[in-house]
Amino acid sequence: PGETCRHYEYTCPSQCTENWPHDITVIADFLHMHAIGSQMWTTVNRAAMEPITLNRIDYWAVNFQSFTPVGSQGANTPGDGLVIKRGDRINTHCVYNNPTQEVVRFGSASAEEMCIDFILYYPALGTASNPYTGCAPFFFGGSNCTLCGDPSTDMCTP
């Protein structure tokens, strides 16, 4: 409460992406927060390279959200998409401004906040029985976990 410019960073670590069966090509990106979000961006980090900005919104407006086309150098650049390679690290950053004294928590309700990057890519990483994949930090049963999209690769620490 009463904070401006509170920054959160979420990481899909290289330990997750190195378990992918193949590289992916991102063709569109959808950054998502709720009402107190003010800025959001995602970078792709590869060993021995400068980070590539996948997408960035410097002036967040909750009522103006849409997919952004992604080219070979990130959002709104020419090309047929950005390749994310096995072993790359993906970092999503969210900045919030809460000038009120209300406590705002993360959750699925509109009055709560989110920090999610929906990435449209090919070829699919999922399977016929589970067509979705994800990499997300979450808190479960007293442990901090990173969900890598496959229960055999989930990483949890007490």
13-54 tens-digit pLDDT: 898 888 888 999 999 999 999 989 999 999 999 988 999 999
Q: Please compute, for residue 14, the number of CA atoms within 13 A of its CA located in the half-sphere on the CB side.
A: 8
12 — pLDDT class (breaks 50, 70, 90) = confident
Q: Return the pLDDT at 156.
A: 47
pLDDT tens digits for range 43-100: 999 988 999 999 999 999 988 889 999 998 888 888 889 999 999 999 999 999 988 8
Q: How many angstroms separate the CA atoms of 117 and 91, rounded?
A: 10
The C-alpha angle with vertex 102 and arms to 101 and 106, in degrees rounded to 5, equals: 135
Whole-model pTM? 0.83
Q: Return the pLDDT at 146.
A: 58
Phi first, then psi: what are they for 78, rounded to 5°? Answer: -70, 160
Dihedral sign, CA of 43, 150, 14, 147? positive
Q: Return the pLDDT at 78.
A: 86
Q: Is the pLDDT of residue 133 over 90?
A: no
